[in-house]
Amino acid sequence: MTPKTFEEFESTLGQREPPKEWTDALQSLWFDAKDDWESSHNIAQDIHSPMGSWIHAYLHRKEGDKWNAGYWYNRADKPFPDYSLDKELKVLVEANL
């Protein structure tokens, strides 16, 4: 079942895998929240939508690649955030609930 809140999303982080019925976007964010950047990126780069571009941007921002992140924020039609990565993760998760 898809979580209804960020706290419900967080409560699944003790599991070994994200729920299979979740969208690719939520699964990507779940892997990021588990500090598995590579798995998160592998999913995000195959989401061909503004949301996929936004997640991709966030991941490159987290990686420290500001130029690449800027490219993906532009593709997502989102401004480069002026808030923390933790807050952006929460905003992204909530946008997918």
Model pLDDT for residues 68-92, shown as the tens digit of each residue: 999 999 999 999 999 999 999 999 9
DSSP symbol at 48: -
Which tokens sit at 10?
A: 């967080």
* pLDDT, position 24: 98
Weakly modelled stretches of the chain, pLDDT under 50? none
Q: What pLDDT is attached to residue 1?
A: 87
Residue environment code for 17-53, b if the CB has 16+ CB neighbours within 10 A, otherwise e: ebeeebebbbbbbbbbbbeeeebbbebbeebeeebbb
> What is the SS3 string spanning 62-89?
HHCCHHHHHHHHHHHCCCCCCCCHHHHH
